Amino acid sequence: MNKFFKLRVQATKAHVDIGVGIVFSLFSIWMLTMGIRSQCSISFGSVGVVTDRLFPYIIMTVSLILSVIILILGIFDNQRDKKAKAEGKEVPMTECSIYVVMLLVLGIFFNMTMKTIGYPLCNAIAMYGVYYMLGGRKIWQGLAVSIGFTLLSYLFFAKYLGVSLALGFGL
Amino acid sequence: MLADILSGFQMNANLDCILMIAFGTLLGIIIGALPGLTATTGVSIFLPLTFYMDPVPALGFLGGIYCGGMYGGSITAILINTPGTPAGAATVLDGHPLAQKGEAYKALQMALYASVIGGLISCIALMFFAPILASAALKFSYAEYFALGVFGLSIVAGLSNGNIFKGLLACCIGLLIGCVGMDPISGFPRLTFGYTPFLGGFQLIPVLIGLFAMSELIKQCADKIKRGDQKDEIFQVSGKPLSKADWKRSIMTILKGSVIGTFIGAVPATGGGTAAFLSYGEARRASKHPEEFGHGSIEGVAASESANNGATGGTFIPMLCLGIPGDSVTAVMMGALIIQGLTPGPNLFVEHASTVNGIYVALLISNIFMLAMGQVGLRWFYKVCLIPKEILQPIIFGLCCVGSYASNSSLFDVGCMFAFGILGYLLLRCGIPMSPILLGLILGSITESNLRRGMLASGGSFLQFINRPICLVILAFTVFSLAFTIIRMLKDKAKGKEINEEE
């Protein structure tokens, strides 16, 4: 299990830049051609081009220009990296941990279960999950941290500040 | 002036307020001392605690975290060669060599005193200069506000680490996120994709916690898993205290650093890190012993610490007067002001003058608390670094969840927080900085509404923005600063210099 949490995706920075350039270019083009038109209506009182769509159009045009520049610079960097690799030099890398997926799972769990099983149980489980993923294997320590914090935060937010934190199970 | 300061003291003269400032300062020092947790993260995590407070204790609490966090970064910089915050990076250069020589106590003392003096000087500068700038800004109309918004966005993108194009793209992302919801002029729904919860737009708190706290948490956790149980070497707090000779040598450096910090802090989007390095460079240039810099010079510690805490008051000047944050922490604090129902800008000084005075004095008090706490805890604060990450990170996770939920008692906000946390982590990995996204989100609606109001008044023409002299100067300055940054970046690239895009 520990090996699984250490999984990570690696790529050169140039490849990442090319990816960023492509994704944002495509998104900008879609927004400029279809997205804004379908998602922004023109309200009463608009004069000429000064409509609800004006600002999103400006943003997406700038975004398209920037993503194309990032893409072009990424292509140049990639060529430079190829030369560097051929000369036996190291190229700048970036990596993304599998942990991001695990946090996403915990987030979905928190959102889906909080109303039904209540904040105390849901939060304690999610916190124990984080503790476990970080390599914590002492059960009592994990329970003390997750239950202790949950109890304190419940007392502070629900009892002192009056935030409505569900207890769950119809309570 | 004196009456304003007295009214500020009056606003802070209650036990709740004083306790909140003290608590904030203590939390700030602890957060700053924890490597990886910055003052921005600290303010984001604890922002939800302030929802139910009055503006002055709320801002005093957050201001305490800010000031304490800036100082706290020096503790780990000196003792374990890892700055707790980016602003403490310059302190490592001389602080850690001093610890290696067995003079850690002296270095920690100098860091504390220089931080306090820097903080106090910058608070006094804030008290004097903010009202002057605000009264000048009162003459601004929508055209100037639009120009200021564009200037703020471009300068933040330009000064964000690394690639300016990515910084500007981050601004666009923030602006687009800010467009979701009701149109600021017509009130028509926009970019909601038919999803009802999007009608209200994205709330600032979950976005903020997600981008700054959750993304940082994911990064920290990933690093912890990668590094395993590898531990840093911590030096003992040992050695003699500061001598008269040390004071004599450093006092001018401290004063100079405080002024540099305040000035640099007042330039939008710079902050403590830039100020610390500039002050360090100046101290080395002016020193009688420049050869000692980098090998354990007490002046080096004094220069960087006075400047990074000197920036704290300075960063409040553009934020309070113009609504443009001085750095990422004040960007978050700007969100806190908005949540309190206060709109940063010159009108704040007219409509809520006593609150503004209260904020000045709260910052002043927090620096005094920092001195007292630092003095007492000098030998103990480093122990927070010994807290295992597997205990600390779940607590931060829990605070993020409950904090984002507490703002509106809405699970949609918790979902947003997770979504923005993951998006933030992925964007960070791609070298896209976070601060411009937040700025885009905050400044977007001000920029858009002023642009459209101006264009509607002139029948759709943009010319009147150029016809106004102040507006034209600001726009020209924006173009100039952008062009300068782009040319510098492209030159660096051509020379083959590697750009560090990590925030």
The 3-class secondary structure across B436-502, one letter per residue, is HHHHHHHHHHHHHHHHHHHHHHCCCCCHHHHHCHHHHHHHHHHHHHHHHHHHHHHHHHHCCCCCCCC
Contacts of A5 in chain B (CB under 8 A): 225
The stretch B118-127 carries a mean pLDDT of 92
pLDDT for position B503:
43
CB within 8 Å: B222 and A8: yes
CB within 8 Å: A135 and B414: no
* Same domain for A136 and A88: no
pLDDT for position A137:
83
d(CA B244, CA A79): 58
B462: nearest CA partner in chain A? A50
Residue A33 belongs to a domain: yes
Residue A15 belongs to a domain: yes
Helices B298-322 and B244-266, packing angle to 10 deg:
30
**pLDDT at residue B309 tops 60:** yes
CB within 8 Å: B459 and A48: yes
pLDDT interval class at B484 (50, 70, 90):
confident
A155: nearest CA partner in chain B? B402
B183 CB near a chain A CB, below 8 Å? yes
CB within 8 Å: A123 and B218: no
pLDDT interval class at B156 (50, 70, 90):
low
User: pLDDT over 90 for what percent of chain A?
Assistant: 47
Residue A56 belongs to a domain: yes
Task: Quote the number of domains for chain A.
Answer: 2
Which of A51, A66, A96 is the endpoint of a domain?
A96
User: What is the secondary structure of B311-332 as a DSSP string?
Assistant: HHHHHHHHHHHHS--SSHHHHH
Instruction: Report the C-alpha dihedral over residues B45, B51, B55, B60, rounded to 10 degrees.
Output: -30
pLDDT interval class at A20 (50, 70, 90):
very high
Q: Count of alpha carbons within 13 Å of B390, Cβ hemisphere only?
A: 19
* Same domain for A149 and A124: yes
d(CA B203, CA A101): 24
pLDDT for position B268:
73
Which of A96, A111, A131 is the endpoint of a domain?
A96
B420: nearest CA partner in chain A? A104
d(CA A148, CA A167): 16
pLDDT interval class at B162 (50, 70, 90):
low
What is the tens place of the pLDDT at every residue in B251-302? 999 999 999 999 888 877 667 878 888 898 888 888 888 888 888 889 999 9
d(CA B107, CA B127): 30
Considering CB atoms only, which of A41, A44, A133 is closest to B221? A133
Which domain range does residue A64 map to? 11-96
CB within 8 Å: B418 and A99: no
Residue A47 belongs to a domain: yes
* Same domain for A28 and A64: yes
What is the tens place of the pLDDT at every residue in B237-256? 777 888 888 899 899 999 99
User: Which of A30, A34, A103, A106 is most worth mutating to test chain B (most B CB atoms within 10 A of its CB)?
Assistant: A103
* Same domain for A31 and A54: yes
Contacts of A106 in chain B (CB under 8 A): 397
Which of A96, A126, A143 is the endpoint of a domain?
A96
User: What is the secondary structure of B20-48 as a DSSP string?
Assistant: HHHHHHHHHHHHHHSTT--HHHHHHHHGG
CB within 8 Å: B406 and A123: no
A120-124, A141-145, B464-468, range with the lowest pLDDT: B464-468
* Same domain for A91 and A20: yes
What sign for the dihedral angle of Cα A51, A55, A56, A61? positive
Please state the length of chain A: 171
Contacts of B483 in chain A (CB under 8 A): none
Q: What residue type is assigned to position B225 of the chain? A: I
User: Which of A134, A139, A150, A153 is most worth mutating to test chain B (most B CB atoms within 10 A of its CB)?
Assistant: A134
**In chain A, positions 72-131, which contact chain B (CB-CB < 8 Å)?**
73, 80, 92, 94-97, 99-100, 103-104, 106-108, 110-111, 114-115, 119, 123, 126-128, 130-131
**In chain B, positions 429-458, which contact chain A (CB-CB < 8 Å)?**
429-432, 444, 448, 451-452, 455-456
Q: What SS3 state is found at B229? A: coil
What is the tens place of the pLDDT at every residue in B16-41? 899 999 999 999 999 888 877 788 88
B415 CB near a chain A CB, below 8 Å? yes
User: Do the Cβ atoms of B431 and B162 come closer than 8 Å?
Assistant: yes
The stretch B320-346 carries a mean pLDDT of 84
Residue B117: both structure tokens together = 């003096």
CB within 8 Å: B225 and A5: yes
Residue A3 belongs to a domain: no
CB within 8 Å: B456 and A141: no
Contacts of B176 in chain A (CB under 8 A): 56, 59-60, 63
User: Which of A34, A40, A50, A150 is most worth mutating to test chain B (most B CB atoms within 10 A of its CB)?
Assistant: A50
ipTM field: 0.92
Please state the length of chain B: 503
pLDDT for position B113:
94
CB within 8 Å: A161 and B406: yes
Expressed in percent and rounded to 5, the helix, strand and coil fractions of chain A are 70, 10, 20
d(CA B287, CA B356): 38
- Distance in Å, alpha carbon of B169 to nearest chain A alpha carbon: 6
CB within 8 Å: A39 and B190: yes
Residue A88 belongs to a domain: yes
Buried b (16+ CB within 10 A) or exposed e, A23-53: ebbebbeebbeebbeebbeeeeebeeebbbb
Residue A5 belongs to a domain: no
What is the tens place of the pLDDT at every residue in A67-118? 999 999 999 999 999 998 888 888 888 888 887 888 889 889 999 999 899 9
User: Do the Cβ atoms of B64 and B24 come closer than 8 Å?
Assistant: yes
CB within 8 Å: B222 and A99: yes
* Same domain for A135 and A79: no
Residue A169 belongs to a domain: no
The stretch B189-213 carries a mean pLDDT of 87
Helices B389-406 and B215-227, packing angle to 10 deg:
170
Contacts of B501 in chain A (CB under 8 A): 13
The stretch B92-118 carries a mean pLDDT of 90
What does the mean pLDDT of chain A come to? 88
* Same domain for A91 and A16: yes
**In chain B, positions 132-171, which contact chain A (CB-CB < 8 Å)?**
163, 165-166, 168-169
* Same domain for A137 and A63: no
Considering CB atoms only, which of A39, A45, A104 is closest to B418? A104
Contacts of B188 in chain A (CB under 8 A): 40-41, 43, 52
* Same domain for A133 and A80: no
* Same domain for A16 and A71: yes
Q: How far is CA B221 from CA A88, B38, B491, in A?
A: 32, 15, 36
* Same domain for A86 and A26: yes
Expressed in percent and rounded to 5, the helix, strand and coil fractions of chain B are 75, 0, 20
User: What is the secondary structure of B188-215 as a DSSP string?
Assistant: -EES-TT-GGGGG---HHHHHIIIIIIH
Contacts of B456 in chain A (CB under 8 A): 45, 47, 50
* Same domain for A104 and A89: no
The stretch A153-163 carries a mean pLDDT of 87
The stretch A42-46 carries a mean pLDDT of 73
Q: Distance of alpha carbon B47 from its chain centroid, rounded? A: 14
Contacts of B406 in chain A (CB under 8 A): 157, 161, 163
Residue B23: both structure tokens together = 């608590």
d(CA A70, CA B157): 14
